[in-house]
Each structure stands twice: as C-alpha cells, then as structure tokens.
Amino acid sequence: MTDGEANYIPYHVKVQRPWEEHPYIGRNTLNDRCTIRDRKLGRTYRVPHTWNEFTDLMLRHLKDTFVNTNFIGIRVLESRNLSYFVKTYHDQYTDEYDEIMKDWKKLKSFTITNSGYDAYFGMSATALADNSEFEVDEGATKAKIKSAFIKSLKTKKLNKKVLGEFVSLVA
C-alpha cells in the first residue's frame, strides 16, 4: 500500500572540490545512467527519467519477485486533477485518452492498463462521497418506488464497474 507515486531515491556522495580544503557530503539522485540490480533474481532495471516511471519500475520488480500476484492501484481524484493524471499515462491526442475521458463522464471512473499496475483505477472523489440510500415514504406509489430505485442505481454505476474489474483481477 502506498500514498502515491514514488519520488527519486537520493544518495549521498563525498565531494572534494579542488578549490576547497575539506570534502563535504553532497546529495544526488538516481537517474537514467543508473541501474538497480537484484542479485537474487539475477535481473537489472534501468532507472527511468520521470517519477511515475520510477513507481512502475518498483512495481515491475515486485511483479518479478511475486509472479502470481496482481498489483492494483486506486487513485481517488477531483475533477480538476483528472487531465493531468491521465496525461501521465496517455498522450492527450490518442484514442485511449478519449476513451478514459468518456468513461469518466459516464461512470466517474476509469482504468489505466499501461502502468506498472495490472489495473490502475481512477475514481471520482465526489461520486464516492455520494450517499444514495434507497428510501421511500410508507405510502409511496409504484412510480415513486421505481423512481427512488433508479436514482439509487445511478450512483452505484461507479462501484459496479470498478468492483467488476477488481474481481476479475482477484479471481
């Protein structure tokens, strides 16, 4: 479980500048000239350029270690953060981007499948906060009961879609 994408891994280096008498401990970060090696698995991984790709690298390593495990990511988003997050994984002018936006408008959720996760679910924070209880008055007519039932199902579309995909990964 994590609170989001990883940041770069810093490391400390001893730096001796020619014009200074004493060395000091500086800080640097892993970059694309670095590789991570797992001696037990016998695999090496090139450190990527961007922060989200670094998370994908860590997930790829976990997948190599735990072969029969599915990794699922869940991101709860406000609408204002949607485009930035989706553009992290899909170019804005692609069919995949358009499909995700269509799912968001209709269901207030989407799934990204080209990340380090087997499925990365994006869900609307406001849709999750909606409380749709099935309540009707005691003497309600059939039409009012039907209307209340349909209304309660509209907000459950998000839960149904995500739960269906989640179950297919777990089963």
For residue 106, how many C-alpha atoms fall within 13 Å in the half-sphere facing its CB? 9
Q: For residues 149 and 65, give the distance between their C-alpha atoms in angstroms, rounded to a whole number.
A: 46
pLDDT given for residue 127 in this prediction: 75
Backbone angles phi, psi at 90, to 5 degrees: -140, 135
The per-residue pLDDT for 2 is: 64
Query: For residues 98 and 91, is the Cβ–Cβ distance under 8 A?
Result: no
- pLDDT at residue 126, as a whole number: 81
Domain ranges of the chain: 1-69, 71-171
> Residue type for 53, please?
E
Q: Which parts of the chain sit beneath pLDDT 70?
A: 1-4, 6, 8, 128-136, 142, 146, 149-161, 171
Q: In this structure, are residues 108 and 99 in contact, taking their beta carbons and an 8 Å threshold? A: no
For residue 41 the two structure tokens come to: 């698995």
Q: How would you class 72 by CB atoms within 10 Å of its CB: exposed for 0-12, middle for 13-18, buried for 19 or more?
A: middle
